[in-house]
Structure 1
Amino acid sequence: MQGVTEGNETKTVVFTTSTPLDHGTYVRVLAKGTFAEEYEFIEEEHMPVH
């Protein structure tokens, strides 16, 4: 999936969950290196403007 950093850079993100996500789901992921430390589902309006 494509991600956007707080610095407005686009990055490719590899993220797995134990349940399937619907197409168009927005997830905020706090990553530490290559690991997802935590995540939360968010609405589109909370996405950074890219």
Structure 2
Amino acid sequence: MSELVPGGNMPLPDGALTVRVPGPFDVSALITDDGGRVRGDGDFVFYNQPCA
């Protein structure tokens, strides 16, 4: 298991990824290309948008 500090990031393996966060937390995730850039709105996962 890996832990991140607020604002932290880490590379993830290719393929499907499931993250479960129990509790009242506001969680978001960005999917970036090799240059560290988000390709578009569909690559931003946030509250009320459970997948990308």
Normalising to structure 2: TM-score of the pair?
0.29
Larger radius of gyration: 2
Q: Which has the higher contact order (CA 8 A, sep 6+)?
A: 1
Structure-1-length-normalised TM-score: 0.29
Q: Which has the higher strand share?
A: 1
